Structure 1
């Protein structure tokens, strides 16, 4: 009986840890390279008609981004809204050119070598 209760307890703890991981961790940002860029232009608007007849709007961007070492790369990504001009973004890149997520950051949060390229 003790072994059974221990197994149930361990399974409960593992299940709780799994639920926590699924709700709190952003898997799009794990094992991704960080690049920094500034939004300098409005995105190109795209409208997609969904099966239920509603229209979804997205905006695509193609901008130069810089990593912490000062190396630049052209990245293409989409957003669900037109991003604020002059905003600085930290983008998470997987597979060398696939943007999986982004966050708006302040200029001071950007590494020095990347700051020099963005000025």
Structure 2
């Protein structure tokens, strides 16, 4: 009986842990950006007539060691200009996720640029 209770507890912990994992961030490269003005706005009309907007940002992004490269990413909402973001990138240029970070979280080699 104790064996089954132990298995049940381990199963619940594993299932709970796996549902909290953001798979769009695991194993991805990270880049840092300071949000600039919106480059473009894409509008899509849904079947019910509602219009969905995606805000497109094309701007320089930096690796942790300070190397710059141009990156394009989208957001469902307009981002706050001047905010710092950590971008999670796969295949060199596909942004899978992002999060706002404080300036102190950005490597100093980047903030100097």
Aligned pair count reads 113
* CA root-mean-square deviation: 1.8
5 Å-filtered alignment, 1:61-76, equals: 61-76=57-72
Q: 1:105 aligns with which of 78, 101, 107?
A: 101
1:14 aligns with 2:11: yes
Q: TM-score, normalised by structure 1?
A: 0.82
Contact 1:43 1:83 in 2 (8 A): no
Q: 1:78: which partner in 2? A: 74
Instruction: Describe the superposition over 1:54-95 as per-residue Cα deviations: whole angstroms up to 9, x where unpaired.
Output: 211110111100011111111111000111111111111111
1:87 aligns with 2:83: yes
1:45 aligns with 2:45: no
**Superposed displacement of residue 43, structure 1:** 4.1
Larger radius of gyration between Structure 1 and Structure 2: 1
Q: 1:36 aligns with which of 32, 44, 55?
A: 32
| Greater helix proportion | 1
Q: Which runs of 4+ in 1 moved over 6 A?
A: none
**Superposed displacement of residue 99, structure 1:** 0.5
Q: Which moved more, 1:12-21 or 1:100-109?
A: 12-21
Q: TM-score, normalised by structure 2?
A: 0.86
**Distance in 2 (alpha carbons) for counterparts of 1:26 and 1:110:** 21
